[in-house]
Amino acid sequence: MKNLKKILVGVDDSADALLAFDYAIQRAKEEHAELIITSVLESNELSVYQAMDKDYIHGERSELEEHILDYRKQALEAGVSAVRTIIAEGNAGEAIVKDVIPNVNPDLLIIGSASKKGIRRHFGSQAAYMAKYAPISVLVVR
């Protein structure tokens, strides 16, 4: 694999995503690469009433923004020199592949194999989608 300049890691607090995050930190330090941390506000998990409530969505996004900054702080404290965060909205796999990757142009995507919520906990949905459709190399951590 070529010298990595930008590493994108997806986080959602699942055990596998936390392992992926730890691996991404180590890889970014080894490669002296920028670490880009992304999380997705999944609108398909909102009820109709929540989706119509702008205050609810704003609150959810604000909480996610604060939470992702904790990941940034952890990466910086671990010794990664360049770290930034991105929050996307929509279906996690599609948002990362269609929105985040084209905007940040990473060299590698690191993700966990299982997600935190619902039936997506099993490899075969979001992680498989990203591994199949991402235009870059994808490393899936278990």
Q: What is the pLDDT of residues 117-142, one digit of tens each?
A: 544 444 457 899 999 999 999 999 98
Residue 85 CA to its chain's centroid (Å)? 9
Classify residue 81: in a domain, yes or no: yes
Pairing of strands 6-10, 108-112: parallel
Classify residue 1: in a domain, yes or no: no
Give kind and range of the element (H or E) at residue 42: none
Classify residue 130: in a domain, yes or no: yes
Domains held by the chain: number: 1
pTM across the whole model: 0.84
CATH of the domain at 65: 3.40.50.620
Classify residue 92: in a domain, yes or no: yes
Looking at residue 115, what is its pLDDT?
61
Q: What is the pLDDT of residues 52-92, one digit of tens each?
A: 444 444 446 788 889 999 999 999 999 999 999 999 988 89
Q: What is the crossing angle of helices 15-31 and 54-77, to 10°?
A: 50
Looking at residue 62, what is its pLDDT?
83
At residue 30, the 3 state secondary structure works out as: helix
Q: What is the pLDDT of residues 76-86, one digit of tens each?
A: 999 999 999 99
Domain containing residue 12: 6-141
